[in-house]
Amino acid sequence: MKVLCFGSLNIDYTYKVDHILKKGETLSSESLQVFSGGKGLNQSVALAKAGCDTYHAGAIGEDGRFLLEVMKEAGVHTEHVKIRDDVRSGNTIIQNDKEGDNCILLYGGANQSIERAQVDEVLAGFGQGDFLILQNEINEVAYIMEKAHEIGMKIVLNPSPMNEKILKLPLQYVDYFLLNEIEAGQILNREDSGEIDGIKLAGELREHFAGAAVVLTLGGAGSVYMDAQETVRQSIYKVKAVDTTAAGDTFTGYFIAGIIKGLPVKECMDMASRASAIAVTRPGAAPSIPLAAEVESFVF
Ligand code: RIB
């Protein structure tokens, strides 16, 4: 069984700052580091490091060739990434504060240049039962979902970053939602999602999308998995955060890797939680994602 992540690849410009900038403020940063990132790339790297046969599709400009090397080193197949000479790669400006928190300014670049012909060409190599993982940092997500559904792929959606485009997607085709409580609330059109119990929120999502399994991340309160058969709660592993960038992507990649390997859900949730905790102890997005052996042996 193969897994295809059709998603973004970004050059992350990460600035270490005392605090996140306020409107109108000018602040000197302590350092600048350039990392490989993008929700798509990070999730592909996590899947591959977790031991899955992972293919990545997307687009970069000439300036992003090093992103391919990072993915190849992690074991990701990159032949479906288009290199364009007419557009620059996606990039971000990330402020990373002393608590390890961040805020991210995103420039779509090549990630927004996906063409339907590329989608058709890529999906021709996949079929029934293969997994497709999507986020919300590329264009043509709805078309990719339609075509993937037609050929019987299992669709995993991480609706992040959340915006109105998500609500226009054919969400009825999603087999697994991986999302936080704010994203879940927006999909359900609720205003009070942050205040309601995670299990209740996951249940409401399941009422709307009955065929789907839901993995809801709840920050310090851990995460919840729910499908028709079971509900599993997972707590977080406490660590000293250096940089939380890609923690969610690491969780997504490790969780889906476990499902693809046929592990019990409890084990998938535990591995995902361990892997994302390790990722936040390190700077950067993709470089912070641990290998499976480390996730298994790490002592918290
Ligand atoms: O989820 C983290 C990622 O979001 C970063 O790597 C950045 O590129 C943004 O896409």
Q: Is 283's pLDDT higher than 80? A: yes
Q: Mean pLDDT across the chain, nearest whole number?
A: 97
CB count within 10 Å of CB 173 equals 20
**Whole-angstrom Cα distance, residue 202 to residue 171?**
15
| pLDDT, position 196 | 77
**Whole-angstrom Cα distance, residue 81 to residue 99?**
35
Percentage of residues in the chain having pLDDT higher than 70? 99
Ligand 1: residue of 89, 94, 103, 163 to mutate (most ligand atoms within 8 A of CB) is 94
| pLDDT, position 191 | 78
Band of the pLDDT at 190, cuts 50, 70, 90?
A: confident
Q: Is 28's pLDDT higher than 90? A: yes
Q: Which is it for the CA torsion 55, 275, 144, 91, positive or negative?
A: negative
| pLDDT, position 175 | 98
- Ligand 1 near 136 CB (within 6 A): no
Q: Is residue 21 classed as helix, strand or coil in its secondary structure? A: coil
Tell me if residue 120 is catalytic: no
Q: Is 6's pLDDT higher than 80? A: yes
Report the pLDDT averaged over residues 34-42: 98
Report the pLDDT averaged over residues 249-256: 98
- Ligand 1 near 42 CB (within 6 A): yes
Q: Parallel, antiparallel, or unpaired: how do β-strands 77-84 and 3-6 relate? A: unpaired
| pLDDT, position 193 | 61
- Look up tokens 């480390």; give the residue: 294
> Which residues does 193 contact at the CB level (< 8 Å), separation at least 6?
181, 182, 184, 185, 186, 201
Band of the pLDDT at 224, cuts 50, 70, 90?
A: very high
**Residue from 12, 175, 249, 270 carrying the catalytic annotation:** 249
User: pTM for the whole thing?
Assistant: 0.97
**Whole-angstrom Cα distance, residue 12 to residue 114?**
20
Give yes or no for a contact between 258 and 271, defined as CB atoms under 8 angstroms apart: yes
Band of the pLDDT at 215, cuts 50, 70, 90?
A: very high
Residues 57-85 have pLDDT tens digits of 999 999 999 999 999 999 999 999 999 99
Residues 125-134 have pLDDT tens digits of 999 999 999 9
| pLDDT, position 194 | 61
Band of the pLDDT at 116, cuts 50, 70, 90?
A: very high
- Ligand 1 near 56 CB (within 6 A): no
Which residue's CA is the nearest one to ligand 1's atom 7?
38
> Which residues does 220 contact at the CB level (< 8 Å), separation at least 6?
236
Which residue's CA is the nearest one to ligand 1's atom 2?
246
101, two tokens:
């928190």
Band of the pLDDT at 188, cuts 50, 70, 90?
A: very high
Q: Is 289's pLDDT higher than 90? A: yes
Percentage of residues in the chain having pLDDT higher than 90? 97
Give yes or no for a contact between 160 and 184, defined as CB atoms under 8 angstroms apart: no
Query: For residue 64, how many C-alpha atoms fall within 13 Å in the half-sphere facing its CB?
Result: 34
**Whole-angstrom Cα distance, residue 72 to residue 48?**
10
